[in-house]
Structures are given as C-alpha cells and as structure tokens.
Amino acid sequence: MTSLRSNLRPRVLLPTAILALLGIGVGAFAFSGTPGGDGPLPPAVQPAKKGEEPAGRLADWRKDANGICATLNHDTANLGTPQTQAELAQKLPASLELAGAALAELDALQTPKAERKKIKRMLKLFGQFVAVQQQAVTALQAADTAEFARLTGEAFKANDRGNAIARELGARRCAVGGTDDTELARALKRKRVVVAVLYSPDSSVDTITIREARAGASLSGAGFVAVNVYDAKAIAPLAAQYAVRAAPSVFVFARYKGAVSRFGGYVDRETVAQAADTAAL
C-alpha cells in the first residue's frame, strides 16, 4: 500500500509546443486559378510609383501563404507528438525552427496594399508565438516547469489571435491548430457536461485514473476526453486558464461555464460521477 500511495502522487505536467506555429493540419486544399478560355480577364495591375513597393493581389498572396503553411503543417506533423520528456526536449526546438523558417517565407511575400496592415499584424502575432515559446524552452531546460507551462499558455494566446486574422484573409492553412479546435471543445458541443483527464502517456498510474474517470462520466451520462499533457494545442488553454501544473488531473466542465470541479491526482469513479451530476444541475 505504501508503494501504491507513493505512485499516486501527482506527476509534473509538461505542456509543450510541438505543434509549432500552426499546429497539425494536412490535406488537400484549393487555390484560386487563372481565368481561362472565354472568361473575363483579370484586372490590370497598376504600376507602382517610383520608390514604392509594388502591390500584389490578395488571391496570389493567399495562394502562396497557404502553400507555405501547408508545408509547415506537414513537416511539424511528421515530427509527431512527444511521448516522453526526452522526446519533448528534442522535438520542441525542431518545431520552433520550422516555424521560424515559415515566418521568414511569409514575410517575404508580396502583399496586397489593402491588406498589408492585417498581414503585418498576423505575422507579428505568429512571431510572438515563436519568441515566447523559445523562452519556454529556456524554462524547460532550467527545469522550471511552472514557468514553462505559463509561457506555453501565453504563446498560444498569440497564436490564436494570429489564426483569426489568417482566416479573415482566406489563408486557412495558416489558421490550423488553434486552441479552439480541440477534442474538449468538440465534446462540449455534443454534451453539456464533459469529464476531462490530463494524463502522461508514460505513466501507468495515469492509466488507472483515466479508467476511473471514464467510468464516472459514463455513470452520469457526461462526455469524456483524455488529454495528453504533451499535446500543446490541447493543454495550452488549460495551462493558461487553470494554472495546471500536475498530471494526472481530472476536470469536470460545464458548457459555457468552464471547469466547475477539479481534482489533482487519482479520483474514483463515484466521486467523478457525483461531480458531473452536480454540474448538470
């Protein structure tokens, strides 16, 4: 029993930014084509005044930006989500290097004059993501997990704001991987109450906690999700809003209210079910 109690002590939570600037998101996407045949001719591009940078077309910028971001999404997805702290320390700097290179390419594109301020703002926010996440790497190397978690949450706040602008501009491949597109968010659209377990995939104790929390959710008719602490997109909003610092942790979420109950470490199914029933009321 002494050994079991020792193993049930909360583990250190290490939320990461392995999804880099734009998160995972690969697949087919369509570009604006050039009118052909008898279709109308494209509008003439006015020559730039002397000393003035020529203005590009939004359709051209959108096409090039989506291409750059699709490549980034593919490359970061190939890195995979780390399953251990050692993998985290290796893959996180690699993901940030890819993000920085993509930012440089986006910054070099010719931008349409009417949208130049928006694009500049988007790139600034994505740049803040990379800069803050690099600070998080430094905190991780210093074993300051609390600061690492805080900075990861701050980084993804900037990333989400950049994603919103990218969607406005039609650069959808540059708006993949925001914290509003998570399994928890989708579960709360299906169910009014959702039980969420934050777990570390390399812990057998966390597996027991998942089993009990899932059973408790089932008893109460609530939804259930298990959140890998090494999945930055999923963990970042929780780290920022609820100062999550340990895994396993069990949360009971109510739609429109956020987390209404929270448990650190192991919790049995009856306790989870009671908390979920209370949240439903």
Q: How far apart are CA 183 and CA 166, in angstroms?
A: 22
Q: How far apart are CA 145 and CA 147, in angstroms?
A: 5
Q: How far apart are CA 24 and CA 177, in angstroms?
A: 6
Q: How far apart are CA 38 and CA 259, in angstroms?
A: 58
What pLDDT score was predicted for residue 232? 67
**Element at 97 (helix H, strand E):** helix 85-108
Share of the chain above pLDDT 70, in %: 76
Residue 20 confidence (pLDDT) above 60: no
What pLDDT score was predicted for residue 238? 78
Share of the chain above pLDDT 90, in %: 48
Residue 145 confidence (pLDDT) above 60: yes
Higher pLDDT pick, 98 / 30 = 98
Q: What is the residue-averaged pLDDT of the chain?
A: 78
What pLDDT score was predicted for residue 143? 72
What pLDDT score was predicted for residue 85? 67
Higher pLDDT pick, 41 / 147 = 147
DSSP letters, 40-94, are PPPPPPPPPPTTSPPP--HHHHHHHHHHHHHHHHHHHHHH---SSHHHHHHHHHH
Q: Which domains does the chain have, with CATH numbers?
A: 8-33+53-174 (no CATH), 183-280 (3.40.30.10)
Q: How far apart are CA 30 and CA 97, in angstroms?
A: 27
Give the lowest-confidence range in 28-37, 51-60, 74-83, 238-247.
Answer: 28-37
Provide the token pair at 29: 């996407």
What pLDDT score was predicted for residue 136? 86
What pLDDT score was predicted for residue 214? 96
Residue 82 confidence (pLDDT) above 90: no
Number of residues that this document lists for the chain: 281
Provide the token pair at 117: 């301020």
Higher pLDDT pick, 76 / 124 = 124
Q: What is the pLDDT of residues 202-216, one digit of tens each?
A: 777 788 999 999 999
pTM of structure: 0.65
Main-chain dihedrals φ then ψ at residue 249, nearest 5 degrees: -135, 145
Give the lowest-confidence range in 8-17, 67-76, 87-96, 197-206.
Answer: 8-17
Q: What is the pLDDT of residues 163-202, one digit of tens each?
A: 999 999 999 999 987 777 788 888 999 999 999 998 887 7
Q: What is the pLDDT of residues 37-57, one digit of tens each?
A: 344 444 444 444 544 444 569
Question: What sign has the CA pseudo-torsion 259, 5, 145, 87?
Answer: negative
Gap between the terminal Cα atoms of the chain: 37
Residues 133, 18 contacting (CB under 8 angstroms): no
Q: What is the pLDDT of residues 238-261, one digit of tens each?
A: 776 776 667 788 999 999 999 999
What pLDDT score was predicted for residue 240? 67
What pLDDT score was predicted for residue 45? 43
